[in-house]
A and B are shown apart, each in its own frame.
Chain A
Amino acid sequence: MSKHPGHPKTPLNEPGRLAALLAFELLDTPAEAMFDNITALAAQICNTPIALISLVDAERQWFKSRVGLGATETPRELAFCAHAINRDELFEIENALLDPRFRDNPLVTSDPDIRFYAGMPLSDGHGHNLGTLCVIDRQPRQLNEQQRQSLKLLAQQTVQLFELRLQSRHQREQAAVHKAMLGSAGTAVLVVDPAGLIQQASLGVAGLLGYSADGLIGRELELLLPRNGRQLTRDPLRSIPTQGSSQNQLHEVQMRHASGHAVPVLLNLSPICLEDNLDLGYLCIVHDLSYREEALQRLQRLTAQLPGVVYQFQLFEDGRSCFPYASQGIESIYGLTPEAVTNDATAVFARIDPDDLQAVSESIATSAANLELWHQEYRVLHPSKGLIWVEGRAAPQRCPDGSAMWHGFISDITERKHLERLKDEFVSTVSHELRTPLTSITGSLGLINGGALGAVPDAIKDMLAIAEGNSRRLRQLIDDLLDMDKLIAGKMSFDLQPIKLDELLAECDASHQGFAQHLGVRLLHSNCPDLQVLADAQRLQQVLSNLLSNALKFSPAQGEVRLYSELEGHSVRILVSDQGPGIPADFTARIFKKFTQADASDSRQKGGTGLGLAISKELIERMGGIIGFVSEPQRGSTFWIELPLHHQEDEL
């Protein structure tokens, strides 16, 4: 079916044309006087009752301005303008009733009863006809040449107005964005001329400095500087490069609020340069730093509650160091103010006890190199407290400039050191003063019970045996307590050496045969492979002795205790098995804990202190080994220790 001859053709560049139309942001906007003036002028010049600025979009023609017509839009297929935009010249219909394209158009056959139409396309200069400037009459007629020329000029003028309107709109948008940017909280922007007079000020000055923006125009920038700090801020102003450089300068300064108080700010100064004219003045962007001051004060209030100093320490690659932040507590540690060390840490190092200085410096260097947590105890010569002990801990991080920055704290541990010394002295006293008389008691009883002084009457013998047994037990308890104390304090030293396993086990076997016979238990020692383990001989013997005496004590008379070893990969497992009652299930989890025995009556019956296995576990683990056991109720237990093998080639 062919289309009605009045149906307008679609321009070849329709998609681009529609996009251009939309880009002008005109459709469905309110009437504007500048366009209404154009249509009024067109109607007057052409002497027509109707004049329109018609924009043709995909579905309709929409009138941006109209004279003499009530409708705001009509369907595109009825629009005369939809025909006009297919041409580059004026489209003129003298009598629509005589034109087959329009004679049955509802706009012709009914209101507004169009007879005459003349439409000049509105071209955007890129070949897109957006619509027309058209004049319409209800009578058939023609335009004279002058009217046609005027209509063409008015159409060009209309498109220019479209463009200006769009530009102006963009400028207003940009201005709004700038205004929003400049008016943001905590920032003020000033334009200062080369003489130092304020030319422009953003609204932000009201919130930041207490002045109205208008009130500052024409005033000297100096007004905003505190009286004792004017020189400070003038210097940065003078230092601004003016020779074609757009480099910004940042300065932290104090500015003066209208009410007189100082406001900490970051001043960003940059010269305003317009091509070759380099001396237009300066742009000053003022950032509020009072939030930082508040944060600092909050931090100070918090750190004031802490013992010692909380700090940042920075070590530069050239060896310089400083404390960018130190709480007031630095006074209690080094007798220095935070300000004294902000840029240079030399004064701090001068206060460290010379005997400890090297260790402190080395530990800092190691921490910086490996970015490992720094932890050090050292002495400080405090100007008022004298020699004090301090403990520092800090976590390092690498800064972009290659320096290392630590965040940490140092506390005074003089009191703790004093207590530690007292405890050490106490332990030493216990060790010597308690053990010495016990040595005599045990020794005396041993001599008597051993028959060195002749026969002892039976009635006395039993009592003396009890006395000797208990004095040995007391001595063992003291030894265990001292061992445990040394282990907990990390003060027990280990001399790890290769030990021949067969000799060690033979020695243990030999030294426990007497006790085994005394209890009527058989102690069996299997031959051991020719191996070496890496351990402290004395401590390993102590552990094996503990395991063997436990096994013997808990064995039934006529029972058997076996001492043997097994190779386990790169380790050796030494095992002690007995035929005792086994470990109760509810005790297995606690067996290596301090002061534990399965049955409270055991310590009295079996003479243990409840520390032996706890000490054994610590000792074995400090020697790089592990300890464990397997047990079956009423069938016995096997305790084992595993130690790393020592290979001959390890010595090479």
Chain B
Amino acid sequence: MIPAPFEYHAPKSLEEALRLLDRHGDEAKLLAGGHSLLPMMKLRLAAPRFVIDLGRLKGLDYIREEQGMIAIGAMTTHAEIENSSLLRAKCPLLSETAAAIGDVQVRNRGTLGGSLAHADPAADYPASILALEAQMTMNSSMGVRAVDAAEFFLDMLTTQLRPGEILTEIRVPALGKGTGAAYCKLSQPASGYAVVGVAARVTLAAGKLAQIAVGVTGVGPKAYRAVNVEDALRGKKASEKLLAEAARHAARGVEALADLHASAGYRSEMAAVFTRRALERAVARAAGTKA
């Protein structure tokens, strides 16, 4: 219930935060919303010597449109993403995903950046971030770099973030006409995390699936793009049968996790079911037949 002692820093600027991170290296942990870090510290699964609270930074909490993309500050909370009128209009997939996280209280505190940097294999965002082909901006005292979402997640609880780097911004595309997306999730009944979470984004052109991206979370040690599903669909005319057949590839080649709540086999099966459901919903939305 009680974290081990630590030294607390609340930098006012990104520069200051980066300096602190450089100084304290491995012994420091960044505190964003605190909904991944604090529970681990309370159970003493984490005991950093230094905690750098990003909550006092100005300017990492925004959702704005820039050149056809929507830029989201890493400190934006799940609730802000869930309720953003800009996201709901231009990239509703992210709002839909945020709404599926935990509960109201968690969404009021937890942040997009915090969740992504923590890279829990059962977190919800990674599926959508992958399906949206988001860009992740990371700052360090050396400068700024951006990577594609597909490169960001390396392994369980491991990302591209190097020592001294802070995830500062996530850019997602504004979804145009003819594009539809959906996030469908099977929740772990106790924790609310995703046993399986699938985000699908499709663009219809002349009745065919012109573009398609499917992100899957919860199934393997890290979230992934279901490329086999995408390949089976690309350029084809969407039909119920085709979507169902393609969805069967959702966990192909992935070593599925097994735990108390789902065996590897069941997880893989559910990956197929929820991929089909997400695809059906995304296609319907793209076609404008359903909300």
Q: Do A and B bind each other?
A: no
Residues of B within 8 A of A (CB): none
